[in-house]
Amino acid sequence: MIRLLHDGPQTGGRNMAADESLMNSAREGLVTVRFYGWEPGALSFGRNQTAAGKYDAEMAAVRSIDIVRRPTGGRTVYHHRELTYCVTAPAELWGSLREAYCRINQALASGLQSLGAPVVCVSDGVSTPAPRPTARACFSDPLPGEVTAEGRKLVGSAQWRDKGALLQHGSILLINEQRVTEELRMGAGGQGAAARQDADTGAIGLSDLLSRVPPVVKLVKALAAGFETEFDTEVRAGSFSTAETRTSDRLLARYTDPAWTWRR
């Protein structure tokens, strides 16, 4: 059985704390898929990404854009008009990190295909360079196992494995606004326009693929069905436990601490 959580929009700090809080339950054998949104919109950095001196925090504040550092790896993502997913599970349940990555993305692809979105998972045979934790945007480059459409990335994901638990989360773009990742970069100079175009053209949103973006409730239902199909198990609606809520409240201090956000 997979527990399904569907939350309303929250701040970046709240969302990252909530995601990490689910890992203790994963260590005890519980698999969870959580879907949520962001309010306000937020820029997120990968765990080991160099961001200090690369992004304009003052400009982000002027534009009411939150900034947070994820517990997972990967690169910069702008979270706004999207549905975000998070999966937590025992670390070895689905094999290696790569195997888990591909299976989770296949579940997402299956759900999106059921809504008519012409998505595929990038073949492992595609030759692409491994991403480095630079200031470059996550959606600039599709990698093997990721969900794409028309050669562009629709779902950007990242992982973290810690003390017997796996966390994978990512953005399912409803509308492609990834140019914001480059608009908030410092010192882009004359390369700014090209970088913004690169971030935008490397990504694609559901609004580019469907005549109408489905309501979030319908989208969550389809994605949950995709997980049932891929993992041959029931997906059942649930809620955060008292222990998870307490852990999330405690972790919030880290994810709102500038020392964490700008640690590198």
Q: Which amino acid is at 59?
A: M
Residue of 86, 102, 121, 138 with catalytic role: 138
Q: Does the annotation mark 138 as catalytic?
A: yes
d(CA 8, CA 173): 16
Catalytic residues: 138
